[in-house]
Amino acid sequence: MKPDFTIERATRASRIAGLLSLVLIVALIAAPWWAGRANMRLLGEVYAFLALASLWNLLAGFTGLVSVGQQAFVGLGGYALFAAAIFYGVPPLLAIVLAGFVGAIVALPLAPILFRLQGAYFAIGTWVAAEVFRLVFAQVSALGGGSGTSLPAHIVTDIASTRDAREMVIYWSAMALGLGAIGVVYAILRSRAGLALTAIRDSEVASESLGIDIARTKLVLYVVTAALTTMTGALIFLQKLRISPDAAFSVNDWTAYVIFMVVIGGIGTIEGPILGTLIFFALRETLSDLGTIYLMLLGAVAILVMLKAPKGLWGLFSAATGITLFPLRRRVVSTDAH
């Protein structure tokens, strides 16, 4: 007898969102023809933070590894790009990919050491690691030591000869990385590893007794996140064309902002970091004149959200409407014709 139901993940909202996002992606690809230079720069920055927020959320929201040291990999990526381009003449776009491997290679031995620390102590441990990176790169005089260095002009012009073409290439790379990171996170969460993560989150003991290798799952996710974060860092500093240890390993820029985005948008959801990034930039563009008060406000809002709505704004919206754009849950759908 043929069963009269199927297992589905897609929802009506997710199908509509899928179609709309296709339209949006086409429009964004065409941005160099309709957006001004300043807007393209802004979009480039948004893409970088989309990637950072989605990746941090994968670690903290789904894997339970709360890191306040992801700036270690952002800075590492920036320095890897500068070193590869300046010392070995690697084309910058290739150097972004290369940076991903550097990030993974560094994260692989670092993770088991950091995993010896539990919970919040792990968080501070990641911060110490980032500080070590900052202090080490400040000692590398070939890369400008503590005051940093700029990307030489000939390397920049190698990307493309005209300024417009260059900005287009960098814009598209940023877009590929930003949306790609969201795609990778979604793909991981829908895979076996994602299922394992859900099980670990719900009960470590039960999932272990079912044969899930918790340590290995966490290690793999930490390394994948590190690799993608490093690539994002390389791209960020290709956009900036200048790097210094304090900028590269800034906890405020690459971790605090990212945490606020994810928490306000909704931690543990795929939509949350996207919404949070958009809100963050909308606020920044309108309120950044307030300076330090703006940051205090952001911190206060994040605390309020954490206390009153731990699933963030997207969580509130989703609970009220039942809409999910990136469905992870499987549903039983009746195919009974009667």
Partner 1 sequence: MDWLNAIVQGILLGGLYALFAAGLSLIFGVMRLVNIAHGDFIVLGSYLALVVVQTLGLNPFVAALIVVPVMALFGYVLQRVLLNPTLGKDLLAPLLVTFGLSIIIQNGLLTFFTADSRRVMAGGIETASVSVGPLNLGVLPLAMFATAIAVILGLEFIFTRTSLGRAFRATSDDAEIAKLMALDNRHIYAMAMALSAGIVALAGIFLAVRTNFDPSTGPMRLIFGFEAVIIGGLGSLWGTLAGGVVLGVAQTLGALIDPGYQVLAGHLVFFLILILRPRGLFPRMDG
Provide the sign of the torsion angle of the four alpha carbons 53, 58, 64, 69, taken in this order. negative
CB 225 within 8 A of CB 59: yes
The smaller minimum CB distance to partner 1, of residues 118 and 161, is found at: 118
Nearest to 248 by CA among 75, 48, 72: 75
91: left (phi over 0), alpha (psi -120 to 50) or beta: beta
The smaller minimum CB distance to partner 1, of residues 27 and 120, is found at: 120
The smaller minimum CB distance to partner 1, of residues 235 and 298, is found at: 298
CB of 32 to partner 1, least distance (A): 36
Provide the sign of the torsion angle of the four alpha carbons 186, 189, 192, 193, taken in this order. positive
CB of 59 to partner 1, least distance (A): 11
The smaller minimum CB distance to partner 1, of residues 190 and 201, is found at: 201
CB of 330 to partner 1, least distance (A): 24
CA distance linking residue 315 with residue 269, whole number of Å: 8
CB of 246 to partner 1, least distance (A): 11
CB of 301 to partner 1, least distance (A): 8
The smaller minimum CB distance to partner 1, of residues 90 and 251, is found at: 251
Burial class of residue 291 in the structure, from the number of CB atoms within 10 Å of its CB (0-12 exposed, 13-18 middle, 19+ buried):
exposed
CB of 88 to partner 1, least distance (A): 26
Pairing between β-strand 331-334 and β-strand 242-243 as defined by DSSP bridges? unpaired
The smaller minimum CB distance to partner 1, of residues 44 and 125, is found at: 125
Q: List interacting residues with partner 1 (CB under 8 A).
A: 60, 64, 66, 68, 113, 116-117, 119-121, 123-125, 127-129, 131-132, 135-136, 138-139, 251-252, 256, 259-260, 263, 267, 292-293, 295-296, 298-300, 302-303, 306-307, 310
CA distance linking residue 244 with residue 297, whole number of Å: 28
CA distance linking residue 228 with residue 234, whole number of Å: 10
Pairing between β-strand 242-243 and β-strand 5-8 as defined by DSSP bridges? unpaired
